[in-house]
Amino acid sequence: MGNVIILGSQWGDEGKGKIVDLFSDRFDIVARYQGGHNAGHTVFIGEKKFVLKLIPSGILRPGKKAVIGNGLVIDPVALVSEIESLESAGVEVTANLSISNRAHVLFPAHRMLEKMSEGRPGRVSLGTTSRGIGPCYEDKIARRGIRMADLLDTAFFRAQFDSVMEEKVAIARTFGIYQEMDLGRIREEYEALAERIRPMVCDTAMLLNHAIRDGKSVLFEGAQGTMLDVDHGTYPFVTSSSAGAGGACTGTGVAPTRIQGVIGVSKAYITRVGAGPFPTEALDGAGEQIRKRGNEFGAVTGRPRRCGWFDVPLLRYTAAINGFDSIVVTKLDVLDEFDRIPVCVGYRLGSEQLAEMPATVREIEKLEPIYECVPGWSTSTFGISSYDDLPAKAKEYLAFLEERTGVEIGCISTGPERTQTIVKAGSRLEKLIG
């Protein structure tokens, strides 16, 4: 059994949570490699609903280990609240979760500083989740961040916290975005949270490498999606981390030579939350119909998601960046009621037809999608769990996407439940997940 990365191939919210939860059964460890509590997916345990933001969903499978890698930024308040809500529902977290000692710690001042870029006159608002993710990664790259290992070193933490926060307060005052905060109280709160987290913090890179050496398998779970990757996405309308497959190595300390496959997750259509270019956005009634049928509202912020049609050139681009072996197409049933389904098969920029994704938002905003319409199936696919039971026209739609993107569709999701899934027999995906 190999080690596999599962990640989003669009702008996030592709339904990775369900897929990771489903496949985590086949792996020993599930490891998150980037992002923070800007991510979120909803999981039901019996009647109880949880929104997991930092903890990999593998934690819900008894006996499986979950890892929060060094590539994440962690708000200890959010983390401990997530741990406590899971433990109060009977999920064993403390014994099964390991947190990297090299992950960065997010503070309330990071949220305050996010107002520098969001909503200040003269700055382009990115429509972030306002969780302080970007400013925390800024500190990491500027080499003044506080890491988990520093938080646990109490004497060092006190001195470091005071000096870093003094700077943040000065910046916030200068730019007129300062919000009164009791830094002494925050420091004490973080010291108390550190004690709660301490038993779980370790060198997760060594933990993962030793586990792999001993024959254990790891599922690497990406958050957000490739088009939000800080290098490869629609910059600057991106998140601040490496959401693509490369991030799995830098964000966990596991080498590319130890990873056997990459699986992308894509909706049967496409959505985006927050600002930024979106060539196939459906601004008419069809977009609204998708939003309603797909319940397309953010799990973390509750914001309505922008909806549109499947974008073949975009998928070809993210397949190249990530080296997808196979993709999972989710939410096929959301398209059940459309007579004709437009699919973007190319882009035009002025008089040119483009083969590649342009680098700048200025160009992406000017792209004109070239659509081909595929007949709809006008019957319910909800809950179908066998490929043979799909309506012929739904199979044709999937075959069309497969042929145009050049990527295998190894799995199809037709509803939120684990059972509402088709894994195609003989596919590369089936071989990868064992």
The yes or no reply on residue 405 touching ligand IMP (CB under 6 A) is no
The yes or no reply on residue 318 touching ligand IMP (CB under 6 A) is no
State the minimum distance, in angstroms, from the CB of residue 323 to ligand IMP.
22
Cβ proximity of 97 and 234 under 8 Å: no
Tell me which of 274, 342, 410, 415 binds ligand IMP, using CB under 6 A: 274
State the minimum distance, in angstroms, from the CB of residue 91 to ligand IMP.
22
The yes or no reply on residue 39 touching ligand IMP (CB under 6 A) is yes
The yes or no reply on residue 13 touching ligand IMP (CB under 6 A) is yes
Give the strand pairing for 104-105 and 65-68.
Answer: unpaired
The yes or no reply on residue 273 touching ligand IMP (CB under 6 A) is yes
Q: Pick between residue 228 and residue 374 the one whose CB is nearest to ligand IMP.
A: 228
Tell me which of 96, 129, 326, 421 binds ligand IMP, using CB under 6 A: 129
* 361 vs 369: CA distance, rounded Å: 15
Which segments of 144-274 does DSSP mark as H helices, in order? 148-152, 154-174, 183-197, 204-213, 246-250
Residue with tokens 């990459």: 262
State the minimum distance, in angstroms, from the CB of residue 8 to ligand IMP.
8
How far does Cα 327 stand from its chain's mean position?
Answer: 15
By beta-carbon distance, which residue lies closest to ligand IMP?
Answer: 274
Residues 218-247 that bind ligand IMP (CB under 6 A): 223-224, 228, 239-240
User: Is 13 part of the annotated catalytic residue set?
Assistant: yes
- The window from 125-133, 347-355, 381-389, 411-419 that contacts ligand IMP (CB under 6 A) reads 125-133
Q: Pick between residue 38 and residue 381 the one whose CB is nearest to ligand IMP.
A: 38
- The window from 74-82, 86-94, 130-138, 391-399 that contacts ligand IMP (CB under 6 A) reads 130-138
Contacts of 134 (CB under 8 A, 6+ apart): 114, 117, 128, 239, 240
**384: which DSSP letter?**
-
* 345 vs 280: CA distance, rounded Å: 10
User: Is 210 part of the annotated catalytic residue set?
Assistant: no
Question: Which of 137, 145, 191 has its CA nearest to residue 167?
Answer: 145
State the minimum distance, in angstroms, from the CB of residue 221 to ligand IMP.
12
Residue 337 CA: distances (Å) to CA of 334, 389, 396: 8, 17, 16
Question: Which of 400, 280, 406 has its CA nearest to residue 347?
Answer: 280
Sign of CA dihedral 301, 307, 312, 313: negative
Q: Pick between residue 129 and residue 226 the one whose CB is nearest to ligand IMP.
A: 129
State the minimum distance, in angstroms, from the CB of residue 182 to ligand IMP.
25
* 222 vs 245: CA distance, rounded Å: 8
Token code pair at residue 139: 């500190």
List interacting residues with ligand IMP (CB under 6 A). 12-13, 38-40, 126-129, 131, 133-134, 223-224, 228, 239-240, 273-274
Where in the sequence numbering do the catalytic residues fall?
13, 41
